Amino acid sequence: LELHRAGYETAHIGKWHMGNDPTPRPGYDYWVSFAGQGNIADPELFEDGRLHPVKGYITDLLTERAIEFATRPRQRPFMMYSGHKAIHPQIAQRDDGSVDVASSQGFLPADRHRGRYAGRIFPRRPNFGLSAADRAGKPVLAAALDAKHSSRVQQSFGAEVLDEKVSDSTIQERAEMMLAVDEGIGHLRAALEEKSLLENTLFVFMSDNGSFFGEHGLSVERRFPYEESIKCPLLVSHPAAIAPGRIVDDFALSVDIAPTLLEAAGLTIPRSMQGRSMSTRPEKGRQSRDAFLIEYHGHENPFPWIANIDYRAVRFGNYKYIRWLREDDAHELYDLRNDPFELRNLVREPEHAPAIARGQELLASLVLASMGLPASRKL
C-alpha cells in the first residue's frame, strides 16, 4: 500500500489464503489470485475482475502472469508479489479454516517433473520421531500428538492425510513440485535480464514457514515453534547494490521485508511498521538484533489436535525460550549451539536458570514492544 501511494505500479499474483475470498485487496493495480488453497491443475483464477477456469498447471500459470506484468512497458517503477501454491497439497479449504479431508489428492508435481526423484531417499534428522526423552521435555507437544493418535482423529483424517512419518514418496513429490517454482524463477529472472531490468530490481525469495518431515513426531502441523518450522530460506538479489555470494550472519524476520523494500525505494518507513530494513544492517559479525519474538494463536482452525498450542517464544543468542500460553508450568529452553535438534529441554536444570530468566525478561519486553508499548530495554 505504501509503495502504491508513492506511485509504484503494484501486483499481487498468487496465493492470498486469508479466507476463501479471492477478490482484490487495496493497494494493488493488478490482481491474480484464487480461493483458499486453490487447485493445482486447471484452477479457477480471479483476474480481470472475475473468477474463471484456466487450463494448465498452477505454478506455470502464475509464472506466466508474473513475467507478463514485470516486463510490461511502463514509465513508473513496479512492485510485484508472487505467492505460489507450491508446495501445498491438493486439498480444499472450508470457510471456517478447516480442510475437507475427502478432497485430498496429495502433492501433484507438473507432469514433466513427475518421478524425477523417485527412489531418492531423504536422510532423516536425529530428531526424527518422538523419543521418550523428547516426550518428557515437550509435554504440550506430547499431549497434542496423543490427541492426534486418538481413534476419532485417525478415523476422521486417515493415514494418508496425517502422513505421520512423512513417507519418502511424499518428500519426493514435494521436491518435484518445487522444480516448477525453480524453473519459473529462472524464467522470470531471464525475462527481466532480457529487458535490461534485472540490474536494478530488488529480488527477494523467501518462504513463510518451514515443514516437518517427522521431526519430533510432527508431519502436517507446521505451527510449532521448533526450528524446522520457523527457520526459512531468505535470498536477496540486487545486482546494482549487493555483491553476489554475500552471507549475512544475523537474525532476519519476515516483518523486515516491508521496511527493506520501502528503504530501497527511498521512502520513509512508517513508525507503526514493525521490523527494520535489512539494507542498513552492519557488516557480518555484528548483531543488529539481540532477540526476536515468535508467537502463534490457534484461531485458524486447521487441525483439532493443535487447537490449544498458543505460545510465545523468544530467540536470543544461542537460546530459544518457549512459553505455552494455556499451560502455566509448560515452558521450554534450548541451547541451539549444543543442541541444534532441540532434543534437551533445559528448564529443569539449575545451571540454566540465568538463561531462563533472561528469556522471560526478553519475552516480556518484546511482547510489550509488539503492542506499541515501551519496552524495558532497546532490542
Can you give the pLDDT at residue 110?
98
Can you give the pLDDT at residue 375?
62
Can you give the pLDDT at residue 303?
86
Can you give the pLDDT at residue 287?
46
Can you give the pLDDT at residue 331?
95
pLDDT confidence of 376, banded at 50, 70, 90?
A: low
Per DSSP bridges, beta strands 203-206 and 234-237 are antiparallel
pLDDT confidence of 341, banded at 50, 70, 90?
A: very high
279 vs 183: which has the higher pLDDT = 183
Q: Minimal CA–CA distance to 252: which of 284, 226, 223, 220?
A: 284
Count of beta carbons in the 10 Å neighbourhood of residue 274: 14
Q: How far apart are the first and last CA of the chain?
A: 27
Q: Is pLDDT at 285 greater than 50 in this prediction?
A: no
Instruction: Kindly state the average pLDDT of the residues 98-111.
Output: 90
Instruction: Kindly state the average pLDDT of the residues 80-84.
Output: 96
Mapped onto helix, strand or coil, the DSSP state of residue 265 is coil
Q: What is the pTM of this model?
A: 0.91
3-state helix, strand, coil in the chain (%, to 5): 30, 15, 50
Cell of 351: 545451571
Count of beta carbons in the 10 Å neighbourhood of residue 314: 26
Q: Choose from 97-101, 239-243, 259-263 the range with maximum mean pLDDT.
A: 259-263
Instruction: Kindly state the average pLDDT of the residues 184-189.
Output: 97
Give the DSSP letter string of 347-373.
TT-GGGHHHHHHHHHHHHHHHHHHTTP
